[in-house]
Structures are given as C-alpha cells and as structure tokens.
Structure 1
Amino acid sequence: MESELFVDYFKEWVETYKVGAVRDVTLNKYKMTHRSLSNIVPDLTIDKLDRRVYQKILNEYAKTHEKATTTDFHHQVKACVQDMFHDGILDRDPTYRAIIKGKKPDHRKKNKFLQIDELTKLIRSLDLSNGINSDWLIMIIAKTGLRYAEALALTPADFDFDQNVLHVNKTWKYKSKDGGFVETKTSTSIRTIAIDWQIVGQFRPVIQGMPENEPIFVKKNKDGSYVRQFNSTINGYLERKCKELEITIISIHGLRHTHASVLLAAGVSIHSISARLGHANVTVTQETYAHVLDDLKQKDNQKIIGTLMQIA
C-alpha cells in the first residue's frame, strides 16, 4: 500500500466513495482534480506524502489558479487524504494547517456580490406583478441564498407559508436537455430556512393553484417536456438590469454571495449562515467569505478600541 501511487489511490477513492453518491457535475470536478494530481505528482507514492509534500502540491496548483479554485482543489484532495489518515494508511494528517495560495484574481471578472444599498435598489426595481417571471427568480434567490439549480427545483409544496419556512431538498438538472429533479449537492444541502414577509405575502398568491409538485420556474413545451434552462439566459438578464440601475454587475450565483454577505454584515452568526446556505461545514463558509469577515474584523477592532477608550 505504501508504495502505491497517490494518484491511483485517489482515483480508486473517487470510484469507491463518490460515484453514485454525488451529482455528475461534482463527480466531474473530482475527475479534474485527479487529472491535476496526475500532472503535478504523477510518481508520488503514498509513503512519501507528508505535510511538506502536500503543501508543495497546493503551491504548484496555485501557480495557475486563483485562491478560490485552489481552495476547492484542496477540499477534494483533503477529503481523500483524511480518509487515508483515519483508515490508518497514513500515520499523520498531511493536510494539517495547509496554507492556501493562488494567483491574483482577474479584476476584469465580475464582482461576486452587491453592497446592501445596491441590493435594495435591485429588489425595488423588480416587476413582481405579472406572475412567475425572471424577476421573481431573482427575488427568491436574493432573499434565500439558494443555488440556481435549487431555485429551479422549487415547487409549491416546498413552501410552508403558515410557518414562514422553505424546504430545500432537491435540485434541477438544468445542464441536461431533459431537465428533471436530482438530489442536492450534498446531504447538508437538505435544509429548512426561514423566509420573510415579502415572500410569504406576495409569492403565496402568485403560486396558488399551481401543481404542488411541479417546478415553479421551469415551463413545459407543448409536448409535455420541460423547457431547457440556461444560466447564461438569467445571467444576461441580470447583467442588463445591473447596468440599467448602474450598480455592480453580478451573476445569478452572485446573488447567493450577496445574501450571505448582507447577513454577515448584519451580525448573523457564521454558523446560522452556513446552515442557511447548505454548506458542508462552517469552514467552507469562513473560507468563501473570508473577505467579508476581514472587513467586519476591522470594524470590530474599531469598536473595541472605541469602547476601551471610554474606560478611565
């Protein structure tokens, strides 16, 4: 076992634990990670895998990838390595206190989230008076932080308007031409989240009378098949709205980041936000929104200093 190549073990681990357990899109990411490992450490044997070597793997990957992408790569490799540690194949956990690096982001890319005043401006611009439309989809994602595929999979049965909650338990296979419901990204993605009065008061009558278990935001063709959904379509629509409003241009996934960032800035605990977003653990939330947490830390430091200055 010790002389086995690490890339071979990783491939077998993916086939054993991930095939049939995760969605195809996630499985493809694991396969991409395997290809990256094959390029970086094709001859690395398990007995040579220690903290120093693991850090070198991350450093090499980070040379051509941004920090966020390197973090995703780290999470996938780390899951395999920690299983090896718990199974007794490794004496120590090589991923302990690993440092995530990455090349500087391309500033030409769209910003990931809106400031609260920009979000308010966007919400107020939405036309919610003409039944189910793209504006309602934007509203729901902005107010819940759902992933695009989770929002497409919403049915009237998922809303409990008496308890003011939404049950998230499936996603929509929008990358397939046939569509259809599929399992959530992870088991922790199955969750129940609180919804506000605007959704309860305004959305309830909009979906009243719709089939309880049919997707709200996916229409059907005349032959009964589902109209194929493209995230590029809603992204293009959202981009045009942002330009018209003269606010930061974001993608539909950027609304999810906006949702989390607004809640963090409002003082909602990182644990509550992590559960609301359906993250695997709090660490994922902390790493994803490190920039927001850093800003809040600076503000907290100013509050601390101000408080201490009053003590005489």
Structure 2
Amino acid sequence: MAKKKGILFCDYYDEWIEVYKVGAIAKITLDKYYNVAKQLREICPKLFISDFDRREYQRIINEYAKTHEKQTTTDFHHHVKACIKDLFHDGLVDKDPTYRVVIKGSEPKRTKKRKFLQKEELAKLLQSLDTSKVGFDWFVMLIAKTGMRYAEALAVTPNDFDWVNQTITINKTWDYKGNTGFSKTKTTSSVRTIKIDWQIVGQFKPLIKDFADEEPIFVNKLEDGTYQRQFNSTINNFLVAKCKAVGITEISLHALRHTHASVLLAEGVSIHTISARLGHADVSVTQETYAHILDELQKKDDQKMLSVLMQIA
C-alpha cells in the first residue's frame, strides 16, 4: 500500500484510465478523460499520492479555473473526482480530497439562454409534434419522455422496448461522428432500463411493428448496406424551428434532456430516481447539474415544513 502511495498522481490517473475506462466507455467520453490527464500533467506533474489532500486538490481546481469557465471547471472536476473516488475506496488516501471543493472559474462571456423548458412550454412542444409517423417528431418525443442522450436515442431498436412492462433498455449508443454503427454507452452506469408512459406504448408500438428488431429505428440503412450519416445539428435545427413555431424558449436537443429532469424534479420525483433514469455515474453529478432547481425546491420545502410545525403547536 505504501508503495502505491509513492507514485505520482498523474501516473496513477493514466493507469486508472487504461484499467477502468478503456473498452468500457464510448470513444468520445474516453477522449475527455485523456484530455483531463494531459491537463493534470501540466497542473500537478510532481504531486505524489502520499501528498494528496483537500488543499492540494483545491489548488488543482483553482489552477484549472484560471483559464476556463465555471461549467468547464465543473466537468473537469467530475472527471478527476471519478478517479479519486477509487483512490479513497482503495485506501490510498485517508480522506476524500474532493470533499467540499469550491468550484471556481470565469462566467460565460455571453449570456446563455435558459437550458430547459418550463412544464407548460414542454406541453406546447409535445402537442405540436406529428406522431402519425416515425421521424424527427418521434425522436424529439422520446428524448422528452425518457431523458435519453442524442447518441442513445439514435441507437434505439425495436428490441429495446418491453411493451408489456412499459420499459425501454438503453445499453448502447450510435457512433454518429465516425458513422461506424453501434457503440458503447458513455459510461457503464449509462446502461439502464427505464419506464415509459402509455402514449409511447399506445402510439409508437404500432408504428414500428414492421421494423427490423435489431436495426436502429431513426437511422436509415442505404442500399449498399451502410447507414446514412447523422448530424446532431440537423435535429437541433428542427427542434429550434418547432420551438419558434409554438412561441416557446428555443432550446437544443441536449437541453431537452435537462428539461426532462427539471420537470420531474419540480414534480417531486426523488433525485436518486432521476439520477438512475439519466444514467449518471453518481447522484452527486445530478445534484450539481440541477442545483438551481434543488435550491428552489428547498425553499418550497421550508415553507411546507414551517406550515406543518405551526399546525402542531
């Protein structure tokens, strides 16, 4: 154990990626881990595991935050924390160095649009969709109702649906950048089976009854056996046009995933249930991503609590 503590954290992080991430996650996500490893080499090249504590970790975050926006710094923190969590559980550090870390970073240079729709706006969007045939409208509908990622939704096949138990299993993605077909999920925790509502069962099931069981529903197969190349900008432009048409906030497809989680949170669904539904690696990721909504809900809970206590007196 002491021997392990005597190695550089950068070396350990590189080894950790090879052991735990290579072959287990999608290439696009793996590249993010490699980029983080490169950043660590620049920020803390001589930091030994034996010297790793909360102060050292805060210094790493502070240094990274000097040249990055706060949200980017948060993403960097998540990628490093995943490794440190294993360090802690393996007994290589006595205490969690990431505990109560302060995420810094510059504010966005441009004011960003709200990243999700309100419940009423979502209802308007869904009511405007043409669900009579399989196409972009149903693609948007499924993401709005399940919170799937873009690449996950592209990879959905008829066999992924369990119509009797009202579920869909998400266990793969579609490599839309390399156009090489099915690929691994973002992380192992992204593999999940989630509930779907009766609208999907009643309306979508008959539309795909003649589709090939193992073929992607939303990716066209060409005559030569290859698949038509997919661009997320195409579906994003479609979604923006739909939003404009019904007079609601213009959002991206990824923001529709945020909308799904935000609406469920606001309606009282537990953070743990939503985290599992989204396929997050850890509930803390969900908590940090939707901190603004959780703060609002806590204020409402405070009012409820005070009201209950007043009734007891």
Deviation of 1:172 after TM superposition, in Å, equals: 1.0
Ranges in structure 1 where 5+ consecutive residues have no aligned partner: none
2:179 is matched with which residue? Answer: 177
Deviation of 1:62 after TM superposition, in Å, equals: 2.3
CA contact (8 A) 2:235 2:253 kept: yes
Once the two structures are overlaid, the 10-residue window that deviates more, 195-204 or 235-244, is 235-244
Q: SS where residue 128 of structure 1 aligns?
A: coil
1:118 is matched with which residue? Answer: 121
1:206 is matched with which residue? Answer: 207
2:151 is matched with which residue? Answer: 149
Aligned counterpart in structure 2 of residue 32 of structure 1, from 25, 32, 35: 35
Ranges in structure 2 where 5+ consecutive residues have no aligned partner: none
Overall identity of the aligned pairs, in %: 62
Please report the TM-score for the alignment, with normalisation by the length of structure 1.
0.92
1:77-88 equivalences in 2 (<5 Å): 77-88=80-91
Please report the TM-score for the alignment, with normalisation by the length of structure 2.
0.92
Aligned counterpart in structure 1 of residue 52 of structure 2, from 42, 49, 54: 49
Hey, what's the Cα distance between the residues in 2 that align with 1:291 and 1:50? Answer: 29
Q: SS where residue 167 of structure 1 aligns?
A: strand
1:130-279 equivalences in 2 (<5 Å): 131-178=133-180, 180-279=181-280
Hey, what's the Cα distance between the residues in 2 that align with 1:5 and 1:161? Answer: 51
Hey, what's the Cα distance between the residues in 1 that align with 2:91 and 2:246? Answer: 57
What's the CA shift string for 1:47-67, capped at 9, x where partnerless? 332211111111222233333
Change (3 A) 1:57 1:156: same
Aligned counterpart in structure 1 of residue 62 of structure 2, from 48, 59, 76: 59
Change (3 A) 1:84 1:164: closer
Runs of at least 4 residues off by over 6 Å: none
What's the CA shift string for 1:112-138, capped at 9, x where partnerless? 110001101100111122x21111100
What's the CA shift string for 1:243-292, capped at 9, x where partnerless? 22221111101111100110111111112111211112222211111111
1:283 is matched with which residue? Answer: 284
Hey, what's the Cα distance between the residues in 2 that align with 1:292 and 1:106? Answer: 23
Residue 74 of structure 1 aligns with an amino acid whose one-letter code is H
Hey, what's the Cα distance between the residues in 1 that align with 2:264 and 2:110? Answer: 25
Once the two structures are overlaid, the 10-residue window that deviates more, 164-173 or 39-48, is 39-48
CA contact (8 A) 2:149 2:257 kept: yes
Hey, what's the Cα distance between the residues in 2 that align with 1:271 and 1:81? Answer: 22
Hey, what's the Cα distance between the residues in 2 that align with 1:177 and 1:272? Answer: 33
Hey, what's the Cα distance between the residues in 2 that align with 1:303 and 1:82? Answer: 36
